[in-house]
Amino acid sequence: MASTEKIQADFDRLAVLSTEEWNHNDYYHSFLLKHVPAQCDQALDIGCGTGGFSRLLAQRAQHVLALDLSPQMICLAQERSRRFSHLEYQTADVLKYELPTTHFDCVVSIATLHHLPFAEMLSRMKEALKVGGTLLVLDLFRAESLSDFLWSIPAFPWNLALRLWKQHRLRPPHEVRQAWAEHGRTDVYLTLAQVRQSCKKVLPGAHITRHLLWRYSIVWTKPT
């Protein structure tokens, strides 16, 4: 796993190159939103980046706390979220942040847990949830089995079609590709089997879904 300093530096650099363009995680926002509790007073977004999903949560929750390690990401997120007075951004390393216990109706993390100790983060997210609250994770996984590789076959043309439709080009600009490639050198993803194993221990009964674009989700509701 990369150091916190390296992760922060990578995302500060990526923030400077960021536009409000569609990305692969956004494709799953509507799936995640369907699982946000209808009565949502307090919500938490861990690793909020430029706040795309935090703003969607703010349309559903009375208060949203959105945390990110990268000051540049938080700066952009704040700029893009001026219309939401109940959306609170904080620059913070979630590993050092004291999350309130039994406080949130919804705790979300998108494309962030692969930077963090996975089982520990699931436990902390679980602790932070109220009874009946919902934990939502979307992240990338490492293909290892034949079925993982077979799933990639339809993903490639679908990915190209989505890029053309949403971004009107097949590849991001050179400097963006370069920044992601350098960041990706130290990225480590869990396999789906590892995700399932941790969920079995920490979040029994969690729904784990494999999605087409190289991602999985976890949906878990805290039982009474």
Q: Is 57 in the site for ligand SAM (CB under 6 A)?
A: no
C-alpha span between 47 and 53 (Å, rounded): 10
113 lines the binding site for ligand SAM (CB under 6 A):
no
Q: How far is the CB of 177 from ligand SAM (least distance, A)?
A: 15
Phi, psi angle pair for 145, to nearest 5°: -100, 170
C-beta of residue 72 within 8 angstroms of C-beta of residue 16 = yes
On whether the CB atoms of residues 132 and 37 are closer than 8 A, the answer is yes
Q: Is the dihedral of CA 144, 211, 137, 73 positive or negative?
A: positive
Structure token digits, residue 80: 């893009």
Q: Which stretch binds ligand SAM (CB under 6 A): 35-43, 112-120, 168-176, 216-224?
A: 112-120
Q: Toward ligand SAM, which CB reaches closer, 108 or 203?
A: 108
Task: Looking at residues 61 to 100 of the shown chain, list those that interact with ligand SAM (rule: CB under 6 A).
Answer: 67-70, 73, 93-95
Integer Cα distance of 47 and 44 in angstroms: 10
Which residue, 130, 108, 90, is CA-closest to 54?
Answer: 108
Q: Examine residue 11 and tell whether it contacts ligand SAM (CB under 6 A).
A: yes
Q: Does 18 bind ligand SAM (CB under 6 A)?
A: no
- In whole angstroms, how close is the CB of 12 to ligand SAM at the nearest point? 8
- Give contact residues for ligand SAM (rule: CB under 6 A): 4, 7, 11, 25, 47-49, 52-53, 67-70, 73, 93-95, 110-112, 115-116
